[in-house]
Structures are given as structure tokens and as C-alpha cells.
Amino acid sequence: MRSIGYLLTHYDVLGAFGVNLQLTAWSVLFSLVLGIILVLLRICPVRSLRLFATGFVNLFQNLPLTIVMVFLLLGAFVQLRFQFSSNFSTNFFWFAVTGLSLYTSAFVCESIRSGINTVPLGQAEAARSLGLGFFQSATLVILPQAVRGSVAPLGNTLIALLKNSTVASAAAVSTETSSLMNTMIQYNASSIVSVFLIFALGYVILIIPIGLLTTWLSNKLAVRR
């Protein structure tokens, strides 16, 4: 039996959590941008764009993340030889961010769309009667209210994203937490419970504040009607 102290000093646990946080941060950025584009497409007046966005969202919401990652790695990198960088760790990091962003953007889109449903129809009608076009009414009137109404589901999506970042190991990112956990178990078979506790507590410590913060924000930002 090895103590938790031994495990923490012999393995770079903080560094591994750092990698997961970096993956999450980049994926938040890209999935928010992509998610907002998708939600604009889903509510736009052009039918073919709506269909495209609906198809994209349904595809990525229903594909397991592991499969997205493995497809990117074995399909795009190994078979088609597409690469972000000739440096392996940079390359795999961005593959993982790509996979996480594509997957999460579908959920971001649906979260914001649920926020749009909280905006009364009169708001859109008022925007139109002021002479605003689709893009103006969407970005100036509808989306600002919709995002304020979708903080709670977006927070849940963020929590899911942070936990999903461990799937980056399927895209060969070997410095993140689940890979480190595997290595630690491999060499410290007698201390599986301690290894488990370290990572379980690590995630609990990271995720509880996110939950509290988004709940607080969603109350503070909600449009009172």
C-alpha cells in the first residue's frame, strides 16, 4: 500500500489536471463559437441551412464521443494523414480539441435554443416591426436574451465537457488524467483505491464550484418577466 502523499509526489497529478483544463478551455471557446453559428442556422429563414444545422446537431449529439475521437485519430490522422503539427503531442492535443468542440457545439446549440424558447414571440415581432432584418434581430434582440436564459444548461454542458475531456486519451493525448490514472494503477496495483480517490476528489473539487457558479449566474442574469 502506498500513501496518497507518495502518489502525489511521484506523479504529476496537477499537470494532468492542467492538461484537462487546457483541453476544456480551448473547447469552450470553439464550441461556443460553433454552437452560436449552429443556433443561428437552426432559426434562420433558409430551409436548407436549417436542415444542415439540424443534421449536424443530431449527428454529434447521438455519436459517442469516443467514436468521434477514434474516427478523427485513426481516420483523419492515421489513414488520411491529415495533421495539425508534426510534433505528436501538439498534434494530438488539437485533434482532441477538435473532437471535443465538434461534439460539445451540438449541445451548446441545443442549450441556447432552449434559451430562445424563453424569449416571447412578441420580442421577435417588435424587432421586425422596427425594421431589423433576421441577422440584426437575432444578434441584437433574441440571442442576448436567449443566452441569459440558457446559463444553467450551458453550465451543465461545461461540466459534461470537463469530464468528457478525459476521452482525449482516445485521441492519443497521453498526459491527461485518465491516462495518468492508468499509468499509476499499472505501477501501484496495491493502491488502486488511493489512485481512484485522488482523481475522483480532483474532479469533484473542480466541478462543484462550476455548478455553484452557473446556478448563481443563471439567477442573476435571468430576464425577469
Partner 1 sequence: MPFQSVSLRSLGRSARRRIVSAVLALVCVAGSVMASACGNEDVQVTGPRIRIGVKFDQPGLSVDNGGQFSGFDIDVARYVANKLGYSPSQIQFKEAPSAQREALLQNGSVNMVIGTYSITQDRKSVVDFAGPYFVAGQDLLIRRSDRSKITGPRSLAGRKVCSVSGSTSATTVKKYFPRSVQLMELSGYAECVTALVSGAVDAVTTDDIILATLASAKGDHSLMVVGHPFTKETYGIGVRKDSPHLVAKINEALREMIASGEWKRDLDAATKGTGFTPNKKWNPPTRMDAAVSDERVRF
Residue 224 makes contact with partner 1 by CB under 8 A: no
How far apart (Å, rounded) are the C-alpha atoms in residues 12 and 177?
A: 10
Under the binding rule (CB under 8 A), the answer on residue 193 touching partner 1 is yes
Distance CA 165, CA 100 (A): 7
Question: What single-letter DSSP state applies at residue 190?
Answer: G
The residue (of 37 and 205) whose beta carbon lies closer to partner 1 is: 205
* Residue closer to partner 1 (CB basis): 87 or 136: 87
**DSSP designation for 118:** T
- Identify which of residues 145 and 175 has a Cβ nearer to partner 1 in the complex: 175
Does 208 sit near partner 1 (CB under 8 A)? yes
Q: What are phi and psi of 87, to 5 degrees?
A: -85, 120
Interface stretch with partner 1, choices 28-36, 44-52, 140-148, 172-180 (CB under 8 A): 172-180
Q: Of the two residues 61 and 215, which places its CB atom closer to partner 1 in the complex?
A: 215
Q: Is the dihedral of CA 186, 192, 198, 201 positive or negative?
A: positive
State which of residues 48, 62, 129, 190 lies at the interface with partner 1 (CB under 8 A).
Answer: 190
Q: Does 197 bind partner 1 (CB under 8 A)?
A: yes
Binder among 169, 177, 198, 199 for partner 1 (CB under 8 A): 169
Q: How many CA atoms lie within 13 A of 97 on its CB side?
A: 20
Residue whose CB is less far from partner 1, 127 or 184: 184
Candidates 33, 59, 130, 213; binder of partner 1 (CB under 8 A) is: 213
Q: How far is the CB of 8 from partner 1 (least distance, A)?
A: 16
Cell of 38: 449552429
For residues 27 and 101, the answer to whether their CB atoms sit within 8 Å is yes
Binding part of the chain for partner 1, among 10-18, 30-38, 68-76, 103-111 by CB under 8 A, reads 68-76
Q: Is 192 in the site for partner 1 (CB under 8 A)?
A: yes
Consecutive H or E run containing 30: helix 13-43
Residues 34 and 106: their CA atoms lie apart, in Å, by: 8
Cell numbers linked to 221: 442574469
* Residues near partner 1 (CB under 8 A), total: 48
Q: Which of 18, 211, 222, 223 binds partner 1 (CB under 8 A)?
A: 211
Binding flag, residue 183, partner 1 (CB under 8 A): yes
DSSP string covering 63-78, please? S-HHHHHHIIIIIIII
